[in-house]
Structure 1
Amino acid sequence: MAPLSRQRLGAALVLLAAVAAVGSLAVSAATAPDLGTGAANDTTTDRGRTLVGMQAEGRVALLDANGTPVWRIDSEGVDYFDVTMLDNGSVLAGFIAGDQDDCGRYESPCARTGFRLIEPSPDPRVAGEWSFPVRSKRNSEVHDIEVLPSGEFLLTDMEYERVLTVAPNGTITWQWNASRRYDAPPDPTRTDWLHINDVDRVGDGRYMVSVRNANQLLVIERGEGVVEVVNEDENRADDENCKGYRGFADHDNDSDGDVLCGDPGMLDHQHNPQSLGPDAVLVADSENDRAVELHENEGEWTIAWGVESANAVGFDWPRDADRLPNGNTLITDTRNNRIVEVTPNGTTVWRADTGRWPYDAERLPYGEVTDDRLPRLNATGDTLDRGGESVLPFVDRAYAGLSFVVSLPTWFQPWHIGVIAVTVVLAVVGSGLVWSGRRNQ
């Protein structure tokens, strides 16, 4: 190719790359729906305050009815998860902190996880902590914590994949190990095996547990073990969905590769289920980008209600959904960095922007009620359509990592990263052609 032609082709590629990159971003931003502001919320109802735990932001905050912070506490190098306001006004928060020196059997620095007691006034501060060392800050956290009527603390542990209770003096009083049901790897601390991320008391000595990587909810009874499973393993074709998280496998090699994996069309790597009674549960169906209510009838669980968007913006990895006494649902939309309240028909009546990656929100003074006093819904929300598997999973992973570090606008989607990657290649090739053409003149 002649040097001049090479330069022209290179210049055209660079121009095409610039137009594609800038154009895709500009069009998406210009056509994005108007989300409004917290001040534009429906104020005809006294919504009280909302407590929020934010993972990537490392923050716990109390928001007023307009979404404005009343107080907040920020902790460097700390991720916060489930938050609960106690009767005395103190806040209980699950957390993990990196760069720790007290590491037990692990090399320093390590991470420590557990729960913290936060006193909001006069100035927010950490007043107490119960924690233990873990190998890594990633996928080893205590995500959920609540206080039992006995005064014990009930919590999850993803390092050893267990549910446990801790006495006020810090002594572990009971635990259930997931290895009693699922095939365990040689060392659960070295892989994201089950990712047990939630536990709620649903009766005397009965706990509902979310096993994220198995797409299942379990009801565990102290002294009995697992007594009920929501989203049973019924189709071996579902196994690849669970095995996509490399820690989940037939580790004992006794089932010809078969694993206990629920239907991803019902639940796909869910978070924070809320029991609405013995035969109904509300779940943040995270990888399906929706919140769903499941009902049980004659032993079969089905989707009775769901919602996939708010203010015309689809949910992106929601990780909490709470049914409120007024029948509305409070949803923590993690990668869109917002909390929304939607009516049974899916209308958005309240929203608040948060810091990066909110994990859990609870509306005060109710908190997360887990019994049959709350309203149940039927199919009045969105027409649900489970999202398909990603064609380019590396793009989704890049988007997830970027959203953890930077607060992205809601119109910025994973496909933008794909477009940018292609345009970078075009720009590099084009620049090379221009340089080569000039060199050979």
Structure 2
Amino acid sequence: MTGLRPDTGRQAGTMLIVFGVVLLVSSLVVSAALAPSVGAAGNDGTPQTLVGSQGGGPGLHESGSVYLLDGKETKWKAAETDSYFDVTMLDNGSVATGFMDSGYEDCEPYESPCTHTGFRILEPTDDGGAEIVYEYSFPVRTRSNSEVHDVELLDSGEFLVSDMEYERIFTVKNGEVTWQWNASSMYDAPADPTTTDWLHINDVDALSEDRYLVSVRNANQLVVIERGEGVVEVINKDENGDGTGDPEVLLQQHNPQWLNNGSVLVADSHNDRIVELHRNNTTDEWEVAWAVYEAEGVPFSWPRDADRLANGNTLITDSLNQRVVEVNESGMTVWSYKTPYVPYEAERLPEGETVGATTYAVNEDATVYGNGDVPVLSLLLILFQTGIQVPFWFTELHVGVTLVSLTMTIAGTVLIVRDR
């Protein structure tokens, strides 16, 4: 049996490597050149926007910040924390925000140094920064999936907190827990919720002093809780007996906004869309009445906040595309901002996120704007996006091209080595 002529394997290997590299580079260059403009809509006359940034780096736990945009200029910024999450401006101009940070010495029952999560009150300073004037925090087992993502100040002076480490919501005043609701009272709990990412409770909003809207992310559900009563309403009920709601209605959602007793606006994160759900008064089921899948010609990628504004538009935090956009009811972008890292949540000032905002598509069939097909993000694409923060135009197609290019490069290298 005759083998390859001398140098034939080396030549073939070199050609494979060159072709693979050219394929990858050309796909990236062409896509970058043809990519639509992101963050260019609107002008500097836009009212102020408060942003909580989870940060960047592997796992998105580096360079977290809170900053205030005046138009598109940064008025002040608090940084040097692993991650910040939900942000709320208080009446005195301070900001309440959930956070996660490492390097603490107070770690019982974990080893020191460790990670803490909780909430902080930030006070803007004259030099364009902000100082921490109050912190409530506690140690957690890990930097991932154990954070406090949301906090609100109640009229009682209590802080209302969502906690995914112990899978609960609770109130705290003067450093002491005054009330709590544990998800184990409704859901089948593991022996120790702190050892697994069980429900990932990521948001709580006060509908009134004693009535709260809670996002139970991993169950694809929203629940309304009353102090003294427990759960009084479930949005996207479990119909299959597996403990989760219909993923076609909600899939690992974030930051719902209660519009009124018959509608709620939700960042439907893993369906890569923003939806407004209305209660069907005949069936008592919650159904999609309005949805938007893209802005600026770019499909959403893991959007994690949507606020219906006083002007009737919707402010959207599109996390993995690293932008905040404002769209009107028809889905047209009227303002956008390209963020330096991965944003978690944004609020338009002075109103912030309100209860009882304008609803869309009342008593109409569901209206969908943008891409009607829900983009399916592969695990590899998510790893690219959360690990190295690839550009917004990097899609599943580029993941495929990268794998083909890598395979060709490996095959070419094998041929060259064998020929030698």
TM-score (structure 2 length as normaliser): 0.92
Aligned length: 402
| Cα offset, 1:380, TM superposition | 5.0
| Cα offset, 1:389, TM superposition | 5.2
Aligned match for 1:14, one of 14, 17, 21: 17
Contact 2:68 2:77 in 1 (8 A): yes
CA distance in 2 between counterparts of 1:389 and 1:311 reads 19
| Cα offset, 1:170, TM superposition | 0.9
Contact 1:114 1:129 in 2 (8 A): yes
2:205 paired residue number: 200
Q: Give the 3 Å change call, closer, same or farther, for CA 36–161 of structure 1 in structure 2.
A: closer
Q: Relative to structure 2, which stretch is displaced further, 143-152 or 14-23?
A: 14-23
Q: Does 1:212 align with 2:217?
A: yes
The amino acid that maps onto 1:183 is: D
1:343 paired residue number: 328
* Aligned-partner SS, 1:263: coil
* Aligned-partner SS, 2:394: coil
2:102 paired residue number: 98
* Aligned-partner SS, 1:276: strand
Q: Give the 3 Å change call, closer, same or farther, for CA 180–359 of structure 1 in structure 2.
A: same
Q: Does 1:288 align with 2:271?
A: yes
Aligned match for 1:122, one of 109, 114, 126: 126
Q: Give the 3 Å change call, closer, same or farther, for CA 384–221 of structure 1 in structure 2.
A: farther
| Cα offset, 1:91, TM superposition | 0.7
2:340 paired residue number: 355
> How does 1:327-342 map onto structure 2 within 5 Å?
327-342=312-327
Q: Does 1:223 align with 2:228?
A: yes
Contact 1:288 1:386 in 2 (8 A): no
Contact 1:315 1:336 in 2 (8 A): yes
The amino acid that maps onto 1:215 is: N
Q: Hey, which bits of structure 1, 4+ residues long, moved more than 3 A?
A: 383-386
| Cα offset, 1:419, TM superposition | 2.2
2:374 paired residue number: 387
> How does 1:60-75 map onto structure 2 within 5 Å?
60-65=66-71, 67-75=72-80
* Aligned-partner SS, 1:111: strand
Q: Give the 3 Å change call, closer, same or farther, for CA 384–226 of structure 1 in structure 2.
A: farther
| Cα offset, 1:207, TM superposition | 0.5
CA distance in 2 between counterparts of 1:228 and 1:18 reads 55
Q: Does 1:324 align with 2:309?
A: yes
| Cα offset, 1:58, TM superposition | 0.6
CA distance in 1 between counterparts of 2:289 and 2:159 reads 32
1:111 paired residue number: 115
| Cα offset, 1:122, TM superposition | 2.2
2:29 paired residue number: 26
| Cα offset, 1:81, TM superposition | 0.2
RMSD: 1.7
1:239 paired residue number: none
1:137 paired residue number: 143
1:82 paired residue number: 86
Aligned match for 1:187, one of 185, 192, 195: 192
Aligned match for 2:160, one of 133, 154, 162: 154
Give deviations 1:371-427, integer Å, cap 9, x for gaps: 2xx21111555166352655x53x134223324xx4x32211244233223312211
Contact 1:339 1:351 in 2 (8 A): yes
Q: Give the 3 Å change call, closer, same or farther, for CA 105–174 of structure 1 in structure 2.
A: same
TM-score (structure 1 length as normaliser): 0.88
Contact 2:38 2:337 in 1 (8 A): no
2:299 paired residue number: 314
Give deviations 1:186-210, integer Å, cap 9, x for gaps: 1111110000000011124110100
1:166 paired residue number: 172
Unaligned runs of 5+ in 1: 237-257
| Cα offset, 1:303, TM superposition | 0.6
Contact 2:158 2:172 in 1 (8 A): yes
CA distance in 2 between counterparts of 1:306 and 1:183 reads 32
The amino acid that maps onto 1:348 is: T
Give deviations 1:342-365, integer Å, cap 9, x for gaps: 010000010111122100100000
Unaligned runs of 5+ in 2: 56-62
